[in-house]
Amino acid sequence: MLGHAFPQYVPGGFVGVDIFFVISGYLITGIIYGDIQNGSFSLATFYARRIRRIFPALIVVLIAAFIAGWQLLMPSELVALGKEIAAGAGFSANLLFYSEGGYFDAAAQTKPLLHLWSLGIEEQFYLVWPLLLWALMRWRIAAAAPLALIFIASLVANILVVRTNPEAAFYQPFTRAWELAAGALVAVCLPNGFSAARDLLGSFALAVIAAVTAFYSPSMTYPGIAAVAPVAAAAALIMSGRNRFLSTRTAVAIGLISYPLYLWHWPILVFAASFKGRPLTLAENGLAVGASFILAWATYRYVERPIRFGQWRVAPVLAASMVAVASVGALAIVDGFAFRLPAIVREAGAMTVSRDFLRYGECHISASADPAFDPSCVDASKRPLVFVWGDSTAGMLAAGLRQVQGDQFGLAQFTVNSCPPLFTAQAETIPFCVQTNRHIVAAVARSHPDVVLLHLAWSKEPTADDLRPTIVALRQAGAARVILVGPVPVWTDTVPHLTVQYFLRHHTLIPERSHDVRSTKQTDDRIGQIAADLGIEYLSPYDELCNADGCLTRVGTSANDLVSADFLHLSPRASRYLAARLVPRILAVENRHAER
């Protein structure tokens, strides 16, 4: 939990799952082994107890996650949550998340039920383990040797698989079985050492756990050989017996609520970030942890204890309830209960970035060693000629200019994905960008444009030195007039997502203007001053799209009128809107020249 909430301070917190597997293997094996030895073991009784222990809190959390998703998530996101609910209720979340990617990547961190993967592995262990132990006892085979064989085989598989398929090593039960088997071996072969030796062993084990929690990080290959340390330490800690630190009232109290605490903490962190529309601050993460403790205590007190220790037979009811929860998750997979949203919001939420109007592959290309712009990218017969050079944001601007140009001006478009019109470090981060930009400067020299528009999304705080080599190159190519077009607003989330989120919270269409932008007027002014220092003109999309009431979210009332389908790139209608407002200023000098 601390690793999830405060990864900067507890970077190796993910080893808690490895420790959990060892403890689970120890406890369950001890229970089954003892019952088999005294002749009281029953599969029906075992599974009934597991249902009473695991199902109540999980059902509550799954229902709560669905309610939160209903209130906060757009249909496509509720579809994903539906899969997680169905897989969580069916104890196969590890298999679902294995099919979807890694545990530590950015996408995984937005999945509200990601943490249920470990519960899936534990339950899959419950399906096999009782039968295995029962068979060993029935055939009078000592359990230690088969358990040791499982431990070694799974550990070797884990070490081998993690090199080529780390996701499989992380999520698959056969590469995690050795951790459960480690606990099982302790239960079957628990040594009877001296008290002093046990105290020393326990202290050393806690030190190892603290060390790996502090020094392991998500960037390492895991589990692999690195997981041996926390697993061995957990086994040693169990062997050490009663530990003074872990026997304190606080530690015991946390232990009592540890299961619902684990279930609650991750959905709270994920949904809180979804509600805020940004990553949580340190203080907000602290509040989320506090809320997790409160809900965990309430779940333990009012759900777990009454059901687990009550006298009535509730296992069938709990099993039926879990099937019902899984069914609701499965229904969500169909369309994310899209009827929650009116048609215009559904269409807006489904809006995607369009490449069709960019002349993609002709005048808007990907950087390559041999850039190939189509000859038609220059309207050679029309004057004045406006030459657009820049990255994908410039491609959107060119597309807008093409929509409004008519016979007013000719257009030359030379735009390249992720290639700013620079010759400095920002361009060098993408292979071939500098070479492609030299090719574009040569096109400027050949076409003799009346004005060159430079437009880009700045990847770092801009300076005059970033742009100066470009201006020098354009002057040498004969460009008499250069205009720097400032950046368009950058949103805190995709505009379609913001639109759906606003409706879910306020039950109305998103306002025409919003302050959910990362861009500031101060940054825009700073870039304008850089243009002035370099002796070129400056046009501000920020001034056209934003004011004191916020930045435009839409330029009309239809679903296609959103200003962007992502964080940054203008939609076709928004690019036309901006171009119509910039064209008079772009052509102002040219028109005055014509009058003279």
Closest to 412 (Cα-Cα) out of 402, 426, 427, 425: 402
pLDDT of residue 431: 66
Q: In what order do the strands lie in the sheet with 550-552?
A: 513-514, 550-552, 546-547
Closest to 261 (Cα-Cα) out of 12, 15, 20: 20
What pTM value is reported for the model? 0.79
If phi > 0 it is left, if psi is from -120 to 50 it is alpha, else beta; for residue 217 that is beta
Query: Across-strand partners of 577?
Result: none
pLDDT of residue 399: 94
Inter-residue contact 61 to 158 (CB < 8 Å): no
Q: Which residues contact 79 (CB under 8 A, 6 or more apart)?
A: 332, 333, 334, 335, 336
Inter-residue contact 510 to 499 (CB < 8 Å): yes
Inter-residue contact 481 to 537 (CB < 8 Å): yes
Angstrom distance (rounded) from CA 272 to CA 198? 43
Q: Cβ atoms within 10 A of the Cβ of 223, count?
A: 26
Angstrom distance (rounded) from CA 557 to CA 37? 73
Per-residue pLDDT for the chain (596 aa), expressed as one digit of tens each?
999 999 999 999 999 999 999 999 999 999 998 888 888 888 888 999 999 999 999 999 999 999 999 988 888 899 999 999 999 999 999 999 999 876 666 677 889 999 999 999 999 998 888 988 888 888 888 888 999 999 999 999 999 999 999 999 999 999 999 999 999 999 988 755 445 577 788 889 999 999 999 999 998 999 999 999 999 999 999 998 878 888 899 999 999 999 999 999 999 999 999 888 778 999 999 999 999 999 999 999 999 999 988 767 899 999 999 999 999 999 999 999 999 999 888 888 888 887 777 888 899 988 665 668 999 999 988 899 999 999 999 999 999 999 999 989 999 999 998 889 998 876 666 767 888 899 999 999 999 999 999 999 987 888 899 999 999 999 999 998 999 999 999 998 899 989 988 998 888 989 999 999 998 999 999 999 999 999 999 999 999 999 999 999 999 888 889 999 999 999 999 999 999 999 999 998 544 444 33
Cα first-last separation, the chain: 73
What are the structural domains of the chain?
A: 2-340 (no CATH), 356-490+518-547+575-591 (3.40.50.1110)
pLDDT of residue 152: 97
Tell me: cis bond preceding 431? Omega within 30 of 0 counts.
no
3-class DSSP state of 314 = coil
**Which sign, positive or negative, has the C-alpha torsion 344, 346, 348, 351?**
negative
Q: Cβ atoms within 10 A of the Cβ of 290, count?
A: 11
For residue 365, report the phi and psi dihedrals to the nearest 5 degrees.
-130, 175
Strands (E), 91-147: none
Angle ∠(43,47,49) on CA atoms, nearest 5: 120
**Which sign, positive or negative, has the C-alpha torsion 174, 179, 185, 187?**
negative
pLDDT of residue 72: 87
